Amino acid sequence: MSTTAAAPATAGHDAGHAHPELSFLRKWVFSTDHKVIGIQYLFSCIAMFLVGGLLALMVRWQVAYPAGAKPSEEKVQEWRDQGLSGAALNQAIAEFDEDKPFPILGELLWGEKLSKADINAGEVGEAGLFGNSNGMMPNEWYNVAFTMHASVMIFLVIIPILTGAFGNYVIPLQLGAKDMAFPFLNGLSYWTWFSALLVLVASFFVDPAGIGAGAGWTSYPPLSGVVSPSAGAGQTLWCIGVILGGTSSIMGSMNYITTIVNLRAPGLTLFRMPLTTWAAFITSILQLFATPVLSSAMAMLLFDRHMGTSFFLPEGLIFSEAPVPNAGGGQVILWQHIFWFYSHPAVYIMILPAMGIVSDVIAVWSRKPIFGYRPMVFSMSAIAGLGFVVWGHHMFQSGMNPVLGTTFMISTIMIALPSAVKVFNWLGTLWGGQITFSPPLLFALGFVSMFVIGGLSGIYMANAPFDIFIHDTYFIVAHIHYVLFTGSVMGIFAGIYHWYPKMFGRHMSDGLGKIHFWLTFSFMNGVFFPMHIIGLGGYPRRYASFRSYDFLQTYEGMNVFMTWCAIGLGLSQLFFLWNFLWSLVAGKKPTSDNPWHACSLEWSTQTPPPHGNWIGAVPTAYHGPYEYSHPNCKDEFAPQWMPMQRNDGGGGGASPTAPAVAASSAPPTAPH
Amino acid sequence: MQQVRAEHFDAAWKWWLPPNHSSFGEEIDLMYIWIFWITMVTFVVVEGVMVYFCFKYRRNPARKATYIAGSHKLEVAWTVIPAIILVALGVASTNTWAKIKNSSDPSYPQEFQTEVKIAAQQFAWNVTYPGTDRKFDTADDFMLPNILNVPVELKDGAGNVTSEENVRIMLSSKDVIHSLFIPVLRVKQDAVPGYIGNVWFDCDRATYAGPDGKHLTGDQTYSEDGKTLLDWEEAYEIACAELCGLGHSGMRMQLKVVPRAAWEAWVKVKSDEAKKRAEGG
């Protein structure tokens, strides 16, 4: 196939061209170097991962320990046995107080915790940052907590870390490009995203009542479409933040598509690209088509809220006994169609890049070519294509025409196929390999094994009749977390451990990485697996308290268990954080530019790569990216950037041991 | 409430599902059991193979990895076999789906013995009964918040029901989207402002246990003053399943499934009250 233009002239990256020394600000802050931008995304996303995680813990705490626990019958009997009766017993019951504010933060945010006796005596505690509710999270803030947990994790962590951090850092290197096609647009994309981050964080603090955006990350109108106590100024900022995030995504995806189409190294045909880059390519196409729809939806919602339009507000809407003046002629369900037209593909935007990363990691660490490379590419394309025609499965119970429900059920069930094909191909890649259980591989295997659960639980919900029962229960919460946490986040960790030496010129600690993996793997199942079970019991999602329902009482113990697992999961990430930060300054330096003995082009350059990625000309790709353990190859692996050295002496070219890397037939050993 | 609660969690657990009391609920649960076993077998096989490969092909310097870049036959096999299973699952569930949701489908019930209107609002369900004349928008209509009482014909003292009686709910919302969720009947339908949704169900078990702990039988009449029905404690719970604002988790309604005679006596009392109010006002 055609070779693309060699060493394309991007932003003056001609070989040997001397750059004037850039100021610190231009080099590290407002940079146009894809590697710097990728690392900016990486650090920002890890910081936001902590914020999103903290919000998750607040959500979990509220679910396990909502206010208003009543003394159990056994407790009352105990009091009776102690001789309490009449007024004394009633007083004991009235003063019973097991409310547990969120540790440390609860009292800072929602005021001092006083005992019931003190409150009854008329004492008033000190107010917190968000008012005074005796240290306990009010219901409306619970809505904010889960809304912002989802929004932060989706728009500020998973999408930007996969497309922004890995996309930016890895794609040009795997392509043999000196930078992105549009370096300035790339920087602009990051800073637009960063402004989305600031706006979304500000949404917590703008409303005088202390309420941020609380209509759920799906923000269904009319709840989100009318200014009300449930959706105040925070909701407005949320819409603006999502538009900004979307704008950044659109800029980024155009850039990736152009780069992949135009800037591939000589010899690097599309079907010689590593799957990480293929996944980024397909994801970018999804983003480019889907994101503008979300941005328009957000703009329409803003107009409904503040400019008197009624895209989503039907006639006769009454909020708190008062008619909504601009309501009339709108369609509530229209929002859901538009929103899910973006947000279902968004799920694939969040999983496909992780699939790409995991494919590369498994191939490298089991010393095998990807089993079924082309079927892998085609199945990703099928997932992306089908991803555009399944959005209605979020709306089975919405009142949408039930005939459409049948159609969406079939298309949704079909999307399980390419996902299954991918899993089988990963197993095929492990088959007959030389598997080294390094942290990247452990996380990749974690991804595969847990993605199976997330995929299979999807079949339950794709089945429209059974979805009637589990729709909007904890079952869907379990499903989405198996896909996005035990799936995408595992993939992200695999990628970080895998490319860290290339990014920072240091190794992360293997031991800490393994501890991080096993703790994360255990706790995440402790958090998310029981959610399937309470979902099957009919436990509705987004409930601030189970106390009003008899049928939910039984799940209290499981909720407490999940909450403590979530706390364990949160603490386990400290091992990662320490490992990540400490290794930046104290990690062992790699002895070679290709420490994992990998074949794709990013390992052909210096560690870390210089500005412009390669000193001199970009490499040439001679074959596919997964030539591990080839029977006719003299060496254990054949890097893409040099012709394969054949056993029979054919093939020509230099040995992979020279000049860039030191390869040997021994499998790579992970440093410690 | 104790009795229904106990039933919910002890006796009728079926692979973690709560007990079911509607006819289509049985079909839904059967679908679940099929999917459960199909996915369980797949899960065990896939994870088993993965763990086996991880063990068998762990790094061993004495061996070289086998170069296998793919297999056309395998790709076809693991595409076609799941496709057949998945399509079969899809096709198998279309009838149940149509019967529950699609009012233009022949399997959708043609007759409804009881009809009520429910208008949801933040944070309550307003249930309007048509009264003794069984017609809406007449003087004997009455509205009760958060109480849905429906009649059945009892077969025995255990609360089992003789004939299927279909209840139809015309569901709407005044403000935001809510969702009517009756776990024990496998019912869920969003209440969408600007739109009337149809929900139907039948229920094969009454909620009322008399003062002696036994259910009334079909031929026992329940005349008294009809008001007593409101004091019956046992009820199925109805939840709101779509986030509707800060009171979402407290938007609870009770469903009482009671013998027809008792229900009619109660409707009469309520209708008379409503008529009196209409005349008086």
| A577-607 residue pLDDT tens | 999 999 999 999 999 999 999 999 999 999 9
SS3 letters across B216-253:
CCCCCCCCCCCHHHHHCCCCEEEEECCCCCCCHHHCCE
Q: How many domains is chain A partitioned into structurally?
A: 1
Q: Regarding beta strands B142-145 and B114-121, do their DSSP bridges make them parallel or antiparallel, or are they unpaired?
A: unpaired
ipTM value: 0.91
- Residue A389 CB contacts under 8 Å (≥ 6 apart), including other chains: A408, A411
Averaged pLDDT, A258-271:
96
SS3 letters across A260-295:
HHHCCCCCCCHHHCCHHHHHHHHHHHHHHHHHHHHH
B2-101: CATH topology = Helix Hairpins (1.10.287)
HSE-CB at A39 with a 13 A cutoff on CA atoms is: 20
Task: Give pTM, 2 decimals.
Answer: 0.92
Q: Identify the three-state secondary structure at position A322.
A: strand
CB contacts, 8 Å: A219 with chain B: none
- Per-window interface: A 192-231 vs B, CB < 8 A: 214-216, 220, 222-223, 228-230
The residue among A86 and A411 whose pLDDT is bigger is A411
Structural domain includes residue A23 = no
**How far apart (Å, rounded) are the C-alpha atoms in residues A158 and A356?**
14
Judged against a pLDDT cut of 80, whether residue B159 lies above it is answered with no
Cβ contact A368–B181 (<8 Å): no
> Any CB–CB contact under 8 A between A367 and chain B?
yes
- The per-residue pLDDT for A546 is 93
- The per-residue pLDDT for A371 is 95
How far does the CA of residue A77 sit from the closest CA of chain B (Å)?
Answer: 18
**pLDDT tens profile A37-81:** 999 999 999 999 999 999 999 999 999 999 988 888 888 888 889
Judged against a pLDDT cut of 60, whether residue A633 lies above it is answered with yes
How is residue A494 written in tokens? Answer: 């695999």
Cα B132 to the center of its chain, rounded Å: 27
Averaged pLDDT, A154-162:
97
Q: Which H helix or E strand runs over A351?
A: helix A332-366
Judged against a pLDDT cut of 50, whether residue B227 lies above it is answered with no
> Any CB–CB contact under 8 A between A132 and chain B?
no
Cβ contact A215–B54 (<8 Å): no
What does the angle CA B39 – CA B44 – CA B46 come to, to the nearest 5 degrees? 90
Nearest to A175 by CA among A56, A40, A267, A91: A267
Residue of B nearest to A406 (CA): B94
How far does the CA of residue A78 sit from the closest CA of chain B (Å)?
Answer: 21
**How far apart (Å, rounded) are the C-alpha atoms in residues A602 and A263?**
14
Judged against a pLDDT cut of 60, whether residue A290 lies above it is answered with yes
- The per-residue pLDDT for A634 is 87
> Any CB–CB contact under 8 A between A405 and chain B?
yes
Residue of B nearest to A146 (CA): B243
SS3 letters across A19-68:
CCCCCHHHHHHCCCCHHHHHHHHHHHHHHHHHHHHHHHHHHHHHHHCCCC
Structural domain includes residue A496 = yes
**pLDDT tens profile A80-138:** 898 888 888 888 888 888 889 999 899 999 888 888 888 888 888 888 888 888 899 99
- The per-residue pLDDT for A441 is 97
**How far apart (Å, rounded) are the C-alpha atoms in residues B180 and B54?**
47
Nearest to A249 by CA among A219, A292, A217: A292
Least trusted range by pLDDT, from A452-461, B119-128, B202-211: B202-211
Nearest to A44 by CA among A151, A161, A138: A161
Is it true that the peptide bond before A608 is cis, omega within 30 degrees of 0? yes
**Domain regions of chain B by residue span:** 2-101, 114-280
- Per-window interface: A 451-480 vs B, CB < 8 A: 452-453, 456-457, 459-460, 463-466, 468-469, 471-473
CB contacts, 8 Å: B242 with chain A: 220, 472
Judged against a pLDDT cut of 90, whether residue A662 lies above it is answered with no
Q: Identify the three-state secondary structure at position A221.
A: coil
DSSP secondary structure string for all residues of B75-102: HHHHHHHHHHHHHHHHHHHHHHHHHHH-
Averaged pLDDT, B241-248:
93
Q: Which H helix or E strand runs over B145?
A: strand B142-145
- The per-residue pLDDT for B224 is 46
- The per-residue pLDDT for A666 is 40
Judged against a pLDDT cut of 80, whether residue B225 lies above it is answered with no
Residue of A nearest to B181 (CA): A469
Residue of B nearest to A412 (CA): B90
How is residue B179 written in tokens? Answer: 């969702």
CB contacts, 8 Å: B18 with chain A: 537-538, 551
**How far apart (Å, rounded) are the C-alpha atoms in residues A274 and A272?**
7
Nearest to A247 by CA among A207, A205, A287, A199: A287
- The per-residue pLDDT for A243 is 97
Cβ contact B50–A333 (<8 Å): no
Burial of B10 (0-12, 13-18, 19+ CB in 10 A): exposed
- Picking from A139, A219, A223, A449 by the largest number of B CB atoms within 10 A of its own CB, the best residue to mutate is A223
Least trusted range by pLDDT, from A118-132, A237-251, A444-458, B102-116: A118-132
Judged against a pLDDT cut of 50, whether residue A358 lies above it is answered with yes
Judged against a pLDDT cut of 60, whether residue A3 lies above it is answered with no
**pLDDT tens profile A20-41:** 677 888 888 899 999 999 999 9
Q: Which percentage of chain A shows pLDDT scores above 90?
A: 76
> Any CB–CB contact under 8 A between A504 and chain B?
no
Nearest to A285 by CA among A309, A261, A314: A261
Cβ atoms of B94 and A402 within 8 Å: the answer is: no
Cβ atoms of B4 and B207 within 8 Å: the answer is: yes
* Chain position carrying tokens 């935001």: B176
Judged against a pLDDT cut of 50, whether residue A4 lies above it is answered with no
Structural domain includes residue A328 = yes
Structural domain includes residue A261 = yes
Q: Identify the three-state secondary structure at position A622.
A: coil
Count CB pairs under 8 A between chains A and B. Answer: 298
Q: Would you give the DSSP letter of residue A301? A: H
User: What are the helix and strand counts (H, E) for chain B?
Assistant: 4, 10
- The per-residue pLDDT for A19 is 59
- CATH homologous superfamily for B114-280? Cupredoxins -  blue copper proteins (2.60.40.420)
Q: Which percentage of chain B shows pLDDT scores above 70?
A: 84
In DSSP terms, which residues pair with A131 in a beta bridge?
A: A128
Cβ contact B39–A459 (<8 Å): yes
> Any CB–CB contact under 8 A between A625 and chain B?
no
CB contacts, 8 Å: B146 with chain A: none
- CB-nearest partner of A368 from B59, B65, B183: B65
Residue of A nearest to B24 (CA): A465
Structural domain includes residue A67 = no
**How far apart (Å, rounded) are the C-alpha atoms in residues A136 and A141?**
10
Range of A404's domain? 39-52+137-586
Residue of A nearest to B28 (CA): A466
**How far apart (Å, rounded) are the C-alpha atoms in residues A28 and A47?**
18
Burial of A25 (0-12, 13-18, 19+ CB in 10 A): exposed
Amino acid occupying residue A230: S
CB contacts, 8 Å: A417 with chain B: 79, 82-83, 86
Q: What is the CATH number of the domain that holds A151?
A: 1.20.210.10
How is residue A16 written in tokens? Answer: 């040997």
Cβ contact B241–A472 (<8 Å): yes
Phi, psi of B31 (to 5 degrees): -55, -45
**pLDDT tens profile B41-100:** 999 999 999 999 999 999 998 888 899 888 999 999 999 999 999 999 999 999 999 999
- CB-nearest partner of B43 from A398, A452, A629: A452
